[in-house]
Structure 1
């Protein structure tokens, strides 16, 4: 190929660099192993939540064989627990944990105490003219106490109503407490918090992992002086564009894969009803991440160009890593006004705005405005990074600063 042929082909040089970056990264053994491990962790987490939502907690309540009232009360409590679990499962919300209550008949108080001591029974229910008593070996389970308390109250009210010649409905008329929610579609705060943590983690791992790969690729070519050969045939801005696009493709594909596996796993958990909202939030995250990572990748490429040896990478990439770590920590723990502010701050908005979309706190125009701000930031970061990259890439002899790179002749 003649020099004139090279000149004619430089218009698509960025595409060749992009393809090379994608292929090299996809065939990297450590990357593939890390990807498989991450997918395994996500699948395991989803399996845990599925098990957690479907498991049943069993309580065994001892009653004296002659105490038919206590036995009937425990049976009624068991029926109420099954009805509550069925209703929760129909609503599809989290917390649809099934509670089972079983009756253990014993003879005499000593047998009941023995059942508690050897943990054959979790509690001992006894009734009398003076009232009801629930005895346990240690601190009683609050869920069991609440269930039996409600059941005992219903039984006693029914008996008192019969004795008074009336009905339980007449005695309790007007005592019901109705509940209503201003936002009936509001999601569980625990789910929103978990989602914010997951998105922040995906952002941090994707940005730092792929960014480090870019910086390592740049310094490897620079230290081997391969970049000097490349620079004679390909404009450096094409090299930078190819590295940014190639790494962005890999990072985006990785997060898409994580998102698909995660959403598929959620469909088997008690949070399945929130799947549409979670999917919408994930779409916004992917869009924001795609734009924001372009800026992060450009900055990491400059960090690689500022170094002259592989040993210099730690110094040139540490500020970026600390910045991304700070964003990771603050975004998943932010709430209220701070979260609203962060949702418009470039890079931090990659996590904060999708979380606000999920919670329903964002108006329709807010993600659009936030995305435009992120696009403007990404364009500015790429332009500045391109100038610093060209100024630092061919400089050897020591680690450079951003100021030196921007002032150097490119």
Structure 2
């Protein structure tokens, strides 16, 4: 049974000063109580430190020079010298120091004593690079490339041709029907970050929102609040407050990520990532509002903290579907999912990152997601109001929907 709106309802939506809406008061209370909470501040700082540390480590690795020592017996000095001289062209992060060795026994002794990292010598079917107990990955790549080029040039000269003629038509390039192949790997990595940030924020803030609803319900404080302001105002304030906090964190993480990326070898991608990041903020906002409202409903259906695991199970499963769908879908499945709310909140930003998306596709997907959020808020508001004041046990969705107000 619906209730009739009366002038007293309007008065109850204002604070005692008569100028501030009740939902704004609740929103500010949510933001202030959380933003001054030590656990929230410490968690945010730790996340920023981890993000900055990872980017800093990546930048350090990009600028790091791998110094290796290559030993060569007399029968391999010429080839080893060619490897040393050509190494900067193959990999400028590898610096090779050449050590001349008298014979095979001297080479093995140098390996055991760690005087050299690897020993280059001829083998029955070509050349062999021997190390003490583990492969030198960067050195192996350089040696394989240089040896192949050198031997191929010698063989070509013997038959009166050139390496270019021998390799004509052997080049294999990659491309995508949709998107830019050059930035595919970066788009994949950043897309995973988008999906992870959405999942992490929705889970953490959602659980905290549901827990606060249960605490107010279990302590009967909500009955006092309900006498002062309409429950829909309470719900709006809680959802908006947690959304504001999640947005603050998200903007901090994105700012740190983009600024940090500009100090790495991937700095050229920062301008191209700014647009998709802005789209992600829009999709994050619409998707988070919908899920936050559902988390509030999950809290209102429970009467004790122990009930939350049961009432939130469908929502947790939905979030897992969004997470794994966001990181694993590709091809036609990804295109279809990018228009289906709420999965589109994480899938469409990934498609925008990869490129090849028509201008109208993000607008349509965002419009559908916003419509889904609006419907979710309306349905969730009804369930929340009708379940919040029911005590004595867990409330089912059917009970909450059909209960008279």
Secondary structure in 2 aligned to 1:174?
helix
**2: CA distance, partners of 1:389 / 1:5:** 20
Taking the aligned partners of 1:45 and 1:332, their CA distance within structure 2 comes to 20
CA distance in 2, matches of 1:305, 1:237: 13
C-alpha displacement at 1:186, in angstroms? 2.5
3-state SS of the aligned residue for 1:9?
coil
Distance in 2 (alpha carbons) for counterparts of 1:233 and 1:152: 82
Say which of 188, 191, 197 aligns to 2:192: 197
**Correspondence for 2:105 among 105, 110, 114:** 110
Q: In the alignment, which residue of structure 2 is the partner of 1:77? A: 83
Asked if 1:330 corresponds to 2:325, the answer is: yes
Aligned residue for 2:238?
243
Which deviates the most, 277-286 or 369-378? 277-286
Give the distance between the partners of 2:340 and 2:320, measured in 1 at CA.
16
Matching residue of 1:94: none
Give runs of aligned pairs for residues 228-307 of structure 1, distance below 5 A.
Answer: 228-307=223-302
1:69-102 Cα offsets, whole Å, 9 max, x none, are x43433332332212345xxxxxxxxxxx12222
Contact 2:28-2:241 at 8 Å conserved across structures: yes
Q: Which residue of 2 aligns with 1:9?
A: 14
Distance 1:294 1:4 in 2: 25
Residues 27-61 of structure 1, C-alpha deviation per residue, up to 9 Å, x if partnerless? 22222222222222212221232233223333322
Q: 1-side partners of 2:11 and 2:237: how far apart?
A: 17
Q: RMSD over aligned Cα, in angstroms?
A: 2.9
Matching of residue 123 in structure 1 with residue 114 in structure 2: no
CA distance in structure 1 between the partners assigned to 2:151 and 2:213 by the alignment: 78
Of 66, 71, 93, 1:62 maps to: 71
Pairing 1:174–2:165 present: yes
CA contact (8 A) 1:81 1:100 kept: yes
In 1, Cα distance between the equivalents of 2:156 and 2:135? 30
Per-residue CA shift, 1:165-214, capped at 9, x if unaligned? x8xxx634533445655569524544333223222211111101111121
> In the alignment, which residue of structure 2 is the partner of 1:221?
216
Residue number in structure 1 paired with 2:206 = 211
Farther off after superposition, 394-403 or 77-86? 77-86
Q: What is the CA-CA distance between 1:7 and the residue it aligns to?
A: 4.4
Distance 1:85 1:150, change over 3 A: closer
Which one of the candidate residues 32, 36, 42 is aligned to 1:33? 42
Indicate conservation of the 8 Å contact 2:180/2:356, yes or no: no
Q: Which moved more, 1:352-361 or 1:134-143?
A: 134-143
Matched positions, count: 389
Equivalents in 1 of 2:83, 2:367: separation in Å?
57
Looking at structure 2, the residues matched to 242 and 149 of structure 1 have their Cα atoms a distance apart, in angstroms, of 64
Contact between 1:281 and 1:354, CA under 8 Å: does it hold in 2? yes
Structure 1 residues 206-245: Cα deviation after superposition (integer angstroms, max 9, x where no partner): 1011111211222222222222222222121111111111
Q: Deviations over 1:351-370 (max 9, x none)?
A: 11111111114222111111
Q: Give the aligned partner of residue 47 of structure 1.
A: 56
Residue of structure 2 in register with 1:379 after alignment: 374
Q: CA deviation at 1:278?
A: 2.5
TM-score, normalised with respect to structure 1: 0.84
The structure 2 residue matched to 1:319, chosen from 310, 314, 336, is: 314
